Amino acid sequence: MELEITGKRENKLLGREEVQLKTKNAKVTPSRKELRPKIAAMLGAKEELLVIEEIKHLFGERESSIKANVYGSREAMERSAKKHLVKRDFGGKGKEGEGKGEKAEEKEEAEAKADKKDESHKKGEAKKKPEGREKE
């Protein structure tokens, strides 16, 4: 897979450089994880200041078009980058690398409670055997 820069624009107001790229000879849509180090190396930028906005790959084509932003500082990125894109690019890690988000932890807790409830329900069923209905 080859990367080619098709456009660059400096956005001083948001403290970033907006870059458009194309991949050539890509059989499948390249992943963000695969693209980040290659784009950062091409632009001479730090990987932690690069946010990939979109990757478009048309069916049957061997090209992908990519839009990425390179921020001048971490503060500029936190201020103006879309939060869901930052989360996608950095794997859901927060500022200090907290790991899982609150929703994931809540989901795990709910699943644990449900499992506990199912176990206690099963124990109760073992003690009580259902009686069949008598026909009148």
Residue 1 CB-density burial (10 A; 0-12 exposed, 13-18 middle, 19+ buried)? middle
Q: Are 26 and 4 in contact (CB under 8 A)?
A: no
Tokens (6 digits) for 50: 């690069």
For the stretch 5-51, pLDDT in tens is 999 999 999 999 999 999 988 888 888 888 999 999 999 999 889 99
Q: Is the pTM of this model over 0.85?
A: no
Strands (E), the chain: 2-11, 16-24, 50-57, 64-71
Amino acid, single-letter form, for residue 85 = L
Mean pLDDT of all residues in 63-78: 90
Mean pLDDT score of the chain, rounded to an integer?
79
Going from N- to C-terminal start, the domains of the chain cover: 2-89, 98-124
2-89 sits in which CATH class?
A: alpha beta
pLDDT band at 85 (very low <50, low <70, confident <90, very high): confident
- Which one is predicted more confidently, 118 or 82? 82
* Strand arrangement, sheet containing 2-11: 2-11, 16-24, 64-71, 50-57
Whether the predicted pLDDT of 131 surpasses 70:
no
pLDDT of residue 37: 92
